[in-house]
Amino acid sequence: MSYPYIFDADTLEQNKVRLDALTKDTQPLWGKMNVAQMLAHLSVSYDVAQGKTKVKMNPLMRFFLKTFIKKGVVGNKPYPKNGRTAPYFLVVDERDFEGEKKKLLENMKWVFNKGETFFEGRPTESFGKLTSKEWSNLFQKHLDHHFKQFGV
């Protein structure tokens, strides 16, 4: 499966439509998070990309992630339902739906406005340098997975 390119205006618009289809009462089709927690969870990867959240990793863990996990995260194969989440991505406290929705929209716009040139070769703590296509998959695949989780 090929994911829409996160740096295309049409993709941003499609993601906004899906985001707008969510309400504070939208229920998950699988998993433990409520809709506000899911929105906050999605924003964590943007916070890491922007340097707002720091992820420190020992060299052995970085090697393991880059060698064995990276392809599953930035590749074209969809995430499985109920997959394991890294501890720093877990959101278990209650969140404000409208606030999290607004934050996610701002984050999606941030990525779009920065553009593919900004992300080309940009490093991650977990996977090293990524191409703009890999960054696109990282963000879009995650959005798609959780939007589907909530039926949008």
Non-local CB neighbours of 142 within 8 Å, separated by 6+ positions:
42, 45, 79
Are the CB atoms for 57 and 50 separated by under 8 Å?
no
In a domain, 61, yes or no: yes
Tell me the three state secondary structure of residue 129.
strand
In this predicted model, what pLDDT tens digit does every residue of 46-82 receive, in sequence order?
999 998 988 888 889 888 889 999 999 999 999 999 9
What number is the average pLDDT over the span 22-51?
97
| 1 residue type, one letter | M
In a domain, 122, yes or no: yes
pLDDT at 1: 78
In this predicted model, what pLDDT tens digit does every residue of 84-138 receive, in sequence order?
888 888 999 999 999 999 999 999 999 999 999 999 999 998 999 999 999 999 9
Q: Which two tokens stand for residue 24?
A: 């504070």
- Indicate the pTM of the whole model: 0.94
Beta bridge partners of 129: 123
Domain holding 82, by residue range, is 9-149
In a domain, 45, yes or no: yes
* Domain count of the fold of the chain: 1
In a domain, 21, yes or no: yes
